[in-house]
Structure formats: structure tokens, C-alpha cells
Structure 1
Amino acid sequence: MKIFKRNNIGKKAFGMCFLAMMFSCNDDFLYEEPLSSLSADNTLVSVAGFQTYMTGLSWAAREEYAQDDNTFFITNFPGTDVGEDAGAEYFTYRNWISYLTSVTPEVNRNWNWAYGTMLPQANTVIVHANKDENKGIWANTEQKNAVIAEAKFYRAYAHNFLANLYGGVPIVDTILNVPKYDYERQERQKVYEFAKNDLEFASKWLPTAGKTTPGRISKGAADHLLTELYISLGQFDKAIESASRVIESGDYKLMTSRFGKSQGQPGDVFSDLFKDGNFNRNSGNLESIYVWQFESFTAGGGGTRDGNAAVRNIGPFYVKISDPNGIPNIPSNEMGRGVGRVRGTIYSLYEIWNDKNDIRNSQYNMRRDFYFNNPQSTFFGKLIPKSSSAEDTLRSLYSYPRKIEGEPWNANNTSGRTSKDVYVYRLAETYLLRAEAYFRSGNLDKAAADLNALRARSNARLITSSEVSIDFILDERARELLFEEPRRRTLIRMGKLVERVRKYGLLESSRNTIQDYNQLWPIPQVAIDANFGKELQQNSGY
């Protein structure tokens, strides 16, 4: 089941009623009771109503990725060790001092997504599910708690998201009937603790893998995120336990053999993981844990901006390249149409690939060669020679991971969007989290074993325990999860953002302007101004 667009009937009906009131001569009209409404009070009164609302919550969660053209990509990649601005007109983290402020667009948008969308909707489900008047709708306690558990997962996800980026933030655990202007920032650890408690409940009551539809939350997803929360709280033994519940459950496994609809085509098992149609369990993929769903030609199947915009943002602007006779390249079904918004760094595209046998760097997983593709060109099919133009190499002809490639959205290869699903969590990252927990608890042998599970799948050289470090774990995360994990949040959570940007940032201006206080994002100024009943303190340095 794919995730569909939220129902706008209620909004449309309200607009029609408002117009009718404006032109009505009968005052009694103002007191008529509506025959139908999609408000929570009217919807969350049956199991079917709760399931409809949960579909909408799944839709809202995917909006972290699809809410507009580039917020997700700017948030997670440029200004890190793995990514940077590509085109000359893009100026995000080229200068940290002037760019990252309390009015920076993504600083506001991510805050608003969490506080304005995710937390109100998750809390609405939790509050209504616990209402006395709804006791009779549930077949049993398990049914009720499974709904609450899924909502608590999303509430924990949003609080963890906020704490990773902004540090200590207000905890919102209910819905309000009146405006509130005196929110207080809680210590970061308290936010993590609150999210941890939600996830412990979710882990207990959520269904296991195979008993949920694609895009919905399972026990494995809760335990995966719980592992990250335990690490953030310094509870490494518990992190190992929760990760082990996922890895050893029998519900998931690292894919080590070709699978899915692409298995008969040239490629390898790693490339199979990222082929259209191979993201969900029904393809035979037992590595996926939580996947955002996209589907062409389906209302709401692509979110607010219609489709997965990874190609548009991360793909090079190769249609700007012309042959020696001036014939330009054209968009293709395979490569789509990138605009070079974000590109990899020297570190992520070259330095980490020091093992020639690592299939994650194979021709099926990294695109490093480009060809003239316009049939009108006499150079059609010939290799595009290396360029010395800065604009070409920074924006139009850089290497990139082919995991972003996919079938064009609505069969339109000029939009830069695809219908490809998106991993939120897959088992490879669970191994990486457990390796981190083992390392932080002093068990280097088991940390190496978890890292080697991924390296063996990729035909990379196996490492010894003496080689394990936080930096090596970050290197392995880059190899396995390049442009897949939310890299900025990972680096902030691990306390490594500033250090790694100074060492691996692509642009000298980025390396030189990042400040120690940039380890956290600023609190949005609009949130500070709106909270006039109590001071919402700004993070130091901003």
C-alpha cells in the first residue's frame, strides 16, 4: 500500500460553507450543524478513522524529504564531510558565518515541520486513542496500543530530529486548545530521554516486520531508532541490546545475493538494493526496515512537490555539457536531469575508496564516466573528455553514487525527479550503530565484526579490531550510506561536525569559516519572537 495525499475535503467544505454564510440572508444558517467533517473529533472515533489518520501521519513524515524542492538535501549534505555546494550560484555553507543564522530557510522549515506538522499530528492520535469515550472502539488492548505505539514512534522521531540539530528544545507531549506562548527549552538529554521512553513503548507494541504495509512502522524501526537514542544517552549496553533485537530477530538480513527484478541484469547485490521496485520486502529485500514510499501517477504519491528529487539535487548538470560542435546533451531516462545542487567532496568521492574490490565503488554503484548522449551529435556515445573548467567539474561532470538514479517521475525525464522509494532505515545502518555502541563500550572485537559484516558483503578487505575508531566508523558510514543517511545529523550527534568539515570540506571558504558554535543549529528567530511569554534562549554564538 502506497501513501496517498491527505484528504482536503474538509478544507474545501469549510471554504464553501464560508461563502454560503457570506451570501445568506437567513441568520439560522449560521447555527446549522455540519453533516460531515474530517476534524480529529469526528474522525478519531473508530478504528478505521484512526487508520486513516495514521496514513496521513505517514504522509506527513515523508514530508521531511518531499516538503519542497531542496530542504532535505541542503539540510543533510552541503557543509559536511561528504557534500558541498556545486553550482556557482549556490551559497549555503560556503561561508558559515554569513549563511547559518536564526533566519536561514532550512533552520525554520525543519523546525516548523517537526513542531507544526509531526508533533501535533502524533499527539492528536495519542490523546484521542486514550480518551474514555473511545474505550469501546478497540477490539483489545493490543490493537489500541499498536496505534499509540506508531504515533509515539513518530513523536520520538521528531524530538530526536530536533535534539540532533538544535540541541535542547521544548518537549511537546500533548495537544492544546488555546495558544501557548511560554514554551521552555529542555536540556538535550531530557529530550533524548523523552524520545527513548516513547520508543520503548513503541518497541513493545508495534507489529513485527511482515505484518505491516510498506511505509508503515514496525518494531524493527522502533528498535533501530532506540539504538541511536541509547547511544546519545551513553547507555551503550542497552544500545547493543536494541540493535541485536533487530539484527538477530530473523525478520531482517543483510542482502548478500542478487535479488528483485534487476537480478538478471548487469550489476551486483549492492546495486540491487537501490533499483526501482526493490526497496520493500515484497521484492525479497529483507534489509529494509523503514522506507518512504513514492509512486508515479498516484495522487499524493510524491508528496507536496511530486516525486523524489534526489537526481535533481545531487545529479550533475550534465545537460549543460555540449560536444565540440556545440550540440548539448539531453535528459535521459537513466540519469534524469540533475541541476548540480549538491556534489560530493574529494573525501566522499575518492579518498574513502581505497579498496579496489569494494563493490560499493563498482561501475554499477558509482558513475564516474559520462558520454555524449544526443543522437543529433556526431560524438553520440563517445566518452566526454575530462574538463579543466571549474564550473564543469564542480557542477556538470562530477562523480556521484548511482543509488539516486531511478525511473522518471510520471515518465517525465526533464523534471529531475524520480518515483524511487527512499530508505529511512535499513539493516546495514543497524550494524553500524551497534558497531559504534560496541566501540564506545570498549569491545573493539565485536565492533570490528559488525563492520566486517558490511565489508564482507561488499568484497572489501576485512579489518582488525585495532583499526576501529569513531573516524573509521564514519568512513564506513560514508561508504555504505553516501547521500542516504542524514549526514549532518549524524555528525552533530557524534560531536564530529566541525572537526570533519575543517578536515574534509570541499571548499576552502567552508573549511575556514566554520566556527565551533556551528556544532549546533541556531533556534529560529521566529520561534523566539513568538514565544513572548518566556525567553526561548538562543544557542551560544548566534
Structure 2
Amino acid sequence: MKKIIILVGIMLAALSSCSDYIEEESLSNVPADQTYKTASGFQLLVNSNYAWLKSIYGGNPWLFESGTDMYAEGRTPEPAGLSQYTLLIPTADNVADLYRPCYQLIQSVNKTIYYSGITEQTPNLNTLVGEARFLRAQAYFLLVQTYGGVAIVDEHITSPVLSFKRNTAEEVYTKIIGDLDAALASVGTSAYSTSGKVNKRAVNDLLAKVYLTRGYETFGKPDDFSKAAAYADAAIAGQTLGLAFDQLFKPGNDLNAETIFSVQYDKASTSTDPTKLGNNQFYYFGPYLGGAETGAPLRSYNLCPTAYALSLYEKGDKRWDATFMTEILEGPETNNGQTKTILYFPYYRSANPAALKVRHFYEPKWFTPADRLAWETANASRKAATFVYHPWGEYDAAHTLIDNRDCYTIPVKKFDDPDPTTPSSTGPVSTRDIILARLGETYLIAAEAYLKAGVPTTGLDRLNEVRRRAGVANATIGQFNIDYILDERGRELVGEYKRWFDLKRTGTLVARASAYNYKIKAANFVGVGGQLKILRPIPQTALDLNQNKDFPQNPGY
């Protein structure tokens, strides 16, 4: 009987792709069967599973952040379907961006599990298989949140199968939890900052997210939220938020003590193709910072922070200055014997940044006229000849309808790469890690889980640990609800590939996106038959290539 798998196009890509990640498995063209039956060859296969994460997370972040309350289009268009919903159809641009690479990772893990039974048996074999199962669960979790029920593929496929069926979302969640339970029993406990490998903390963290998300579904179990809280606490393991927020994303500090799991990059490994082998995260969430004459890096002018996102911060919140480039500095740099004044990079490279001139300053929400006068007086000597003061309300995404010049929306700096692999003229490439799970978010997952489990006082304690590190007053029990948690997640997690999933999980996508994103109205979500377009559509290519036509499209399409 034919195995049930994904579309033939995906399988052919997984089996014969010329991707650098797959090519890395080859050992001088030694046959795979011979290679993977050795301990060293099997380790390479496990490593390739990690490498597939780069295909999932390293490209454009539309499916993670577009069309939400936090980020909106600037002067550069975003994919209209994903960002505004009216044109969201199964053939829309970027709809398939997660579908294909997630299944490529799944197939790689299936291969790993298959060879684990016939490879050289070593003491750490079960640990390696546990790591692989975690990664497969990660891929299925992205798929089920984005597209709903999808095809479950759990066997190593060596030839294309042209027909597959759609499993239910409930079945996919069961599969995810099964993989994570097996992973939890077998992965190691070494600190992620030293091993860089999946450990029990990472598995506990993902289990917390999976149970929390399933708890909102109609098929959720009565104890899903309490389990989510327990797993989140297990991932926290009593660790307080001890790092200053501005150290969490400091270039060179990605593998810090609070990083639970990430997509790791190494600059040396991109040398064979430096324009493609990095990632794009640093390219978004802020404006284009000027032309080549300024020396500033190429940046997008989309996924710009909305007025709502910027308004979340109060006076004294350390996350404001740590998240946003509130001052854009200029300074002299010499290249090839020529010295000129450039933007941006002197902030990171100068031995004395305080001595640099300020080209742009973005006034925070809490500034009064007296605060502005005090700032301008205190910084009079720092102002550049072409200094621009940006008042509150005049640098969010929607303001680009009025003024869309360079630097006229505030940049997000937390993902900045002051040492990219290529000059800005060749495109957006960074080799900083993409942090997928970190301790601060785990506290917020615990807060939400305890609230939904009916233990709000404990949930409030978890949330207030995040606020304590930020330097702001504790939230009160009267404030503590889902909207407050979403606001806190907004403050804490700007740009961290979470927001669309947060809104979809909590059932607030339509209300919040239409309230805070100037490009979106609630009517935009109304699709075929009056059904709301909450899930993204199953890519049309997947449906066209499937010989089993009993595979329903998602509601609204």
C-alpha cells in the first residue's frame, strides 16, 4: 500500500535538491546508505536536520509577522495577500514559504530515524534521535498553526508518492506531542550556550507552547493549560531573568544564558556563497537607512512598527532604548585612505559613541514639551548639521503616507549585524543567530498558561518577572488578562517571529489587526462563503500536484 506523503514536488526537492545544506551531507560522493551506517555519517545526517531550520527561518518573515497589529507596510510594498488579507488566495505570493521547507525538514528527520535502526549503534544514538524528533515536532507545529491539519509523514520515503491525505489538526497535535515526549526522554541536559544542541529545557519549552496553543482549539483537552504551565516552569527551572535586556541581542552574544533554542549561523560557513547563506532577520522592522553615499546598510522599508507597537512602552522601560535605534549617529570612518562621514555603523564601531553627532532623534511617547526642550538643550552640541528631531507620532509605519524619506520611521536595532557577510549593495545577509526560544518569552508563556488554567496569581508572578527586568512597575491582578499579556509580549518580543501566531492562537487576529494596522479592515478577513480567513491557505501547488482530490482547502478560500 502506498505511503501517505506530501506532494511530489516537495519530495523531489527533499531528495534531489542542490541546496547547500543537503550538499553538506555528501562525503566525496560516497553512497548515502554506506555513509549513514557509520557513526560519523549518521552525525552528519543529524546535523543536516538542524541546517534545514535555515530554510524555514532564514528568508523573508512574512508568514511570521505580516498582517498583524505590530508591523505594517512602509514605503516598500509587502505581499498584499499576507499583509492585508483581501488578496489572500492559495496562489498568493509567499503563502508556501513554510509549507515546503517544513516538509523538507520532516523528510530529513524521517531519514534520520530510519537510519538510526541500521547505523552503527553508539551510546549517544538515542540522544541524537531525540534531537531529530524535536526538530520534526517544530516543523509540524509551524505547519498546524499556519495551515491547520496537514499530511502526517513519518516514514523515510525513497521514491515519490503522488497521493496524500489531509490529517486533522487534532491528529497533527497528537503527533507533535508524541515526538516531544520521546525527545524529552532522550535528549541531553547540557547548557545550550555551550552545546548548541536541543536539550531538555528546549523540549519543555516547546511542549509548553504546544499545549498552550492546543488548549485554545475546540479539540483541546481540559488539562492542556495546566500542562502548558507545568512545562513552562520546567523550562524556566527556577532561573530568573538576570541579563540586562540590552545584552540579550547584543551582537556576538546570541548564545547567552537565556537563549533556549536558536537557528545558528557561522560567518566562516557562508564563505562559499556569502550573498545567500545567511539570513534576512536584520533587514526588516525598520527603514531604509540611506544610500551608498551615507555608508548606512541596506534595510527594508516594510514591516515597520505601527503606532500601537511604539505606544506600548512607558517611561523607564529599558526595552525602549534596547529595542529601537532611538538615535541615529554619524561619524567619520576611513576606507582605502578616504575618510567620510557615514551613518549607523559608527554606533557600533566607535570607541567613544558619546562623542558622535546625532543625525536623527525619535521622541518617545512620554515626552512633554518641557522634556523636548531639556533634551535639545542638553544635546545641542551633539546635533549634526542636518539633524532631524522626530516628534512622537511622526515615525510609525502609517506616517510614511505623509513622509517616506530615509530614516523617517524608527529602526529596530535588536537584530543589527554591524559585520555582515556582504556590502549593502549585494543584498540583505546576516550571520547572526535567529533566536527561536528564550527565557523571557517562557515566563510569558507560563503567565498565559496559568491565567487560562484558572491560576491568575501565579501567572501574574511570571509576567511581573519580565516587567521587573524591564524596570517598570508590576502589573496588577485587575490588569491581568489576555490583552495585557499580548501587550507585554509586544513590548518584549518585537520582531522575534511570534506575532501572527500569538494573535491566531488567542483568537484576536481580526480584532487587533484591524484596530492597529492602517492597511487592514475587519472586512478584509471575510472570504468565500462569508468564512474568515484565519488560517493561511493550503498552497495551490500542493493541491494541484496531489492525485487525491479529496483534500479540502481551508475555510474562506
Which TM class, normalised by the smaller chain length?
Answer: 0.7 to 0.9
Q: 1:384 aligns with which of 365, 388, 393?
A: 388
* Paired residues of 1:93 and 1:100 also in contact (CA < 8 A): yes
Note the alpha carbon deviations across 1:172-202, whole angstroms, 9 max, x for none: 1112234323322122122111101100111
Q: 1:520 aligns with which of 518, 522, 535?
A: 535
Aligned length: 473
Please state if 1:182 is matched with 2:163: yes
Q: 1:110 aligns with which of 82, 88, 98?
A: 98
The alignment-based identity, stated in percent, is: 26
Q: What's 2:142 paired with? A: 161
Q: What's 1:403 paired with? A: 414
Q: Distance in 2 between the 1:300 and 1:534 partners?
A: 45
Q: What's 2:40 paired with? A: 48
Q: CA deviation at 1:210?
A: 2.2
* Paired residues of 1:84 and 1:93 also in contact (CA < 8 A): no
Q: What's 1:26 paired with? A: none
Q: CA deviation at 1:296?
A: 2.2
Are the structure 2 counterparts of residues 311 and 97 from structure 1 closer, same or farther at C-alpha, using a change threshold of 3 Å? closer
Please state if 1:138 is matched with 2:121: yes
Q: Distance in 1 between the 2:485 and 2:271 partners?
A: 37
Q: Distance in 1 between the 2:78 and 2:227 partners?
A: 42
Please state if 1:423 is matched with 2:469: no
Consecutive unaligned residues in structure 1, runs of 5 or more: 14-35, 257-268, 321-327
Consecutive unaligned residues in structure 2, runs of 5 or more: 1-18, 216-223, 333-339, 343-356, 360-383
Q: What's 1:529 paired with? A: 544
Are the structure 2 counterparts of residues 389 and 469 from structure 1 closer, same or farther at C-alpha, using a change threshold of 3 Å? closer
- One-letter code of the match for 1:209? S
Q: Distance in 2 between the 1:302 and 1:225 partners?
A: 32
- Normalising by structure 2, we get a TM-score of 0.78
Please state if 1:86 is matched with 2:59: no
Q: Distance in 1 between the 2:202 and 2:450 partners?
A: 20
Q: 1:222 aligns with which of 203, 221, 229?
A: 203
Q: Distance in 2 between the 1:331 and 1:510 partners?
A: 39
Q: What's 2:500 paired with? A: 488
Q: 1:438 aligns with which of 450, 455, 467?
A: 450
* Paired residues of 2:304 and 2:409 also in contact (CA < 8 A): yes
Are the structure 2 counterparts of residues 51 and 247 from structure 1 closer, same or farther at C-alpha, using a change threshold of 3 Å? same
Please state if 1:63 is matched with 2:51: no
Q: Distance in 1 between the 2:273 and 2:436 partners?
A: 16
Q: 2:489 aligns with which of 466, 472, 477?
A: 477
* Paired residues of 1:84 and 1:343 also in contact (CA < 8 A): yes
Q: 1:277 aligns with which of 252, 259, 277?
A: 252
Q: What's 1:255 paired with? A: 242
Q: CA deviation at 1:213?
A: 5.2
* Paired residues of 1:370 and 1:383 also in contact (CA < 8 A): no
Residue aligned with 1:462, SS: coil
Q: CA deviation at 1:513?
A: 1.9
Which structure dedicates a bigger proportion of its chain to strand? Answer: 2
Please state if 1:296 is matched with 2:267: yes
Q: Distance in 1 between the 2:521 and 2:406 partners?
A: 17
Note the alpha carbon deviations across 1:43-66, whole angstroms, 9 max, x for none: 221221121111111111122122
Q: Distance in 1 between the 2:25 and 2:444 partners?
A: 44
- One-letter code of the match for 1:46? T
Q: CA deviation at 1:114?
A: 1.2
Are the structure 2 counterparts of residues 214 and 304 from structure 1 closer, same or farther at C-alpha, using a change threshold of 3 Å? farther
- One-letter code of the match for 2:254? F
RMSD: 2.9
Note the alpha carbon deviations across 1:419-446, whole angstroms, 9 max, x for none: 3222110011111111111000111101
Q: Distance in 2 between the 1:396 and 1:10 partners?
A: 43
Note the alpha carbon deviations across 1:381-408, whole angstroms, 9 max, x for none: 6422447863644874212332021223
Q: CA deviation at 1:119?
A: 0.8
- One-letter code of the match for 1:502? S
Note the alpha carbon deviations across 1:101-146, whole angstroms, 9 max, x for none: 101232122111112x111001110111124xx3xx2234xx2211
Residue aligned with 1:318, SS: coil
Q: Distance in 2 between the 1:203 and 1:370 partners?
A: 45
Are the structure 2 counterparts of residues 175 and 384 from structure 1 closer, same or farther at C-alpha, using a change threshold of 3 Å? same
- One-letter code of the match for 2:410? S
Q: What's 2:232 paired with? A: 243
Please state if 1:465 is matched with 2:477: yes
Q: CA deviation at 1:337?
A: 2.2
Q: Distance in 1 between the 2:83 and 2:66 partners?
A: 11
- One-letter code of the match for 1:383? F
* Paired residues of 2:133 and 2:180 also in contact (CA < 8 A): yes
Q: Distance in 2 between the 1:9 and 1:464 partners?
A: 52
